[in-house]
Amino acid sequence: MANVRVRGIIATAVSKILFDHGHTIVQASKPIQERLGISFDTSPADVTVKDADNDEILVIGFPEQARQVYDLLVEVLEDVITWRAKLGLWSIVSGIITSNDNGICRVKLPLGLEGELYNCRWRSGETVILAVARPPVKPGEKIRLSTSIRVIGKYVALIHGTPKLTASEHIRDKTRRDYLLALAASRVFGKGVGVHLRSSSMYASDDDIVGEIDELMKKLDEILHMEPPEEPSIIYPGEYLGIIGVTSTAKEKLDNIRDQVVPTITGHHSLKSTHDQSLSEIVDYAEYLIRMQVLTKTQASRTLQNYILEKNREARVGITHIRPTGERLHLTPGMIHVISKNNNGVTIVIKRTIRSRGRYDGLDVEKKPGDIDYMLIKTGEWWISHNYYREEKWLGTYVNINTPPEILPGEIKYHDLAIDVVITESKTSIIDKEELEQLEKDNIIPHSLAEKAYRIAEKILEHPENHIYNPNTEIQ
């Protein structure tokens, strides 16, 4: 089991998941201590879990423990996008220089990877030992290498070639920070090695810090004096680094888990992920009303949803399309054309005016400025349909398969699942199956989520008429 430090808007739910599975939550905030009924534990963290972005969770730490935590969160949250670094952050590798172009070297690395090293002094064919300063996590990211080799402990990291003393920004007590920096300096003075104090060092004893520095010095010395292996290989694993793309349904799971320890409004993690301070305060106030038994959870959730829908009626609504690569596409905004509410949820039609020329993806129809896209969106559904019209003429419908959309103030957001369905007068078919298959093969979209996407697409083929919007017909 791991010692885990959890930070960010996901802290309560993720801490409960990990705590319930036997992990120890360390350096927890007071609200987390109270909600989970735990005491403050100053033990150093093996793993840190925190918000990486609006819709992402970052897991970083010692390889075995961090991988275990990452896999557990993926298993519990289910409908997620997964990105894992093949090489650890600050892992130490041997590589072969394949080219040197004005000081920028390309380096052949283990696992069939290639990295870049700037200010490179080596020639092609030479074998070198380097550190991975920036590992690739998402598709298309490049590996940035460094000659500044470091080894990492629970309290400190030693850095060869950069003889500086630095400290984590989380060590806010200046007196304590200065004392620890002086203690570290006394152990590495004149050795050409820098020390970075990790946040856990603020709770450590002098013996803990001195002992770890001495142990890491031995490890660093061994690496620096070893002969580089002839073939690219991993010498030191560094830190495991993984990112989880948190979809709308995964956020619902986080809501339900958080609700087990503190009253939580429906959409808590979705609304908090906008990082809109005023909206965050509205969520906090709604949950305060639930705790005070002024409103029920259902009443508060429904009232807040209605508030957001009313806010969107007169505003231009942005469309955030999150690809499995992590790329965020911001589609042309539109105006609310229709809002319809019933027992099954909310149906929204957004009217978007096309401004560019080209062809409509999948439909093989010419795109012209002035065309209209009526986006048909239903809460809880795993699709959004784009219905293209030129004046009164229907050009075709493109059904995007995605996670259920999040309806936010001024924004509709969803995670794309690669495959789509095209509907025209002459055909109805699924496209981009190969892309989804490759994403599943690359462990970016888990098998269960890929299977769900396939089932949704096949179901649309059975009744394509249910996904076409006619602006002259009322929504049922």
User: What is the average pLDDT score of the chain?
Assistant: 95
Residues 403-419 have pLDDT tens digits of 999 999 999 999 999 99
Count CA within 13 A, CB hemisphere, residue 255.
21
The whole-angstrom distance between residue 431's C-alpha and the CA centroid of its chain comes to 26
Beta bridge partners of 372: 353, 389
Higher pLDDT, 229 or 33: 33
Separation between Cα atoms, residue 384 and residue 401, nearest integer Å: 7
Confidence class for position 276, pLDDT limits 50, 70, 90: confident
pLDDT at 376 over 80: yes
pLDDT at 290 over 70: yes
Of 279-288, 359-368, 450-459, the least confident: 359-368
* Domains of the chain: residue spans and CATH: 3-85+242-247 (no CATH), 92-238 (3.30.230.10), 314-467 (2.40.380.10)
Q: Looking at residue 476, what is its pLDDT?
A: 59
Backbone Cα Rg of the chain: 26
Two tokens, residue 135: 């590992």
Q: Looking at residue 53, what is its pLDDT?
A: 78
Confidence class for position 52, pLDDT limits 50, 70, 90: confident
Separation between Cα atoms, residue 7 and residue 409, nearest integer Å: 25
Separation between Cα atoms, residue 67 and residue 60, nearest integer Å: 9
Residues 105-141 have pLDDT tens digits of 999 999 999 999 999 999 999 999 999 999 999 999 9
Task: With 0.85 as the threshold, say if the pTM is over it.
Answer: yes
Amino acid letter for position 30: K
- Percent of the chain predicted with pLDDT > 70: 100
Q: Looking at residue 327, what is its pLDDT?
A: 95
The whole-angstrom distance between residue 218's C-alpha and the CA centroid of its chain comes to 36
Burial class (CB in 10 A: 0-12, 13-18, 19+), 118: exposed
State the DSSP code for 110: G
Residues 166-225 have pLDDT tens digits of 999 999 999 999 999 999 999 999 899 999 999 999 999 999 999 999 999 999 999 999
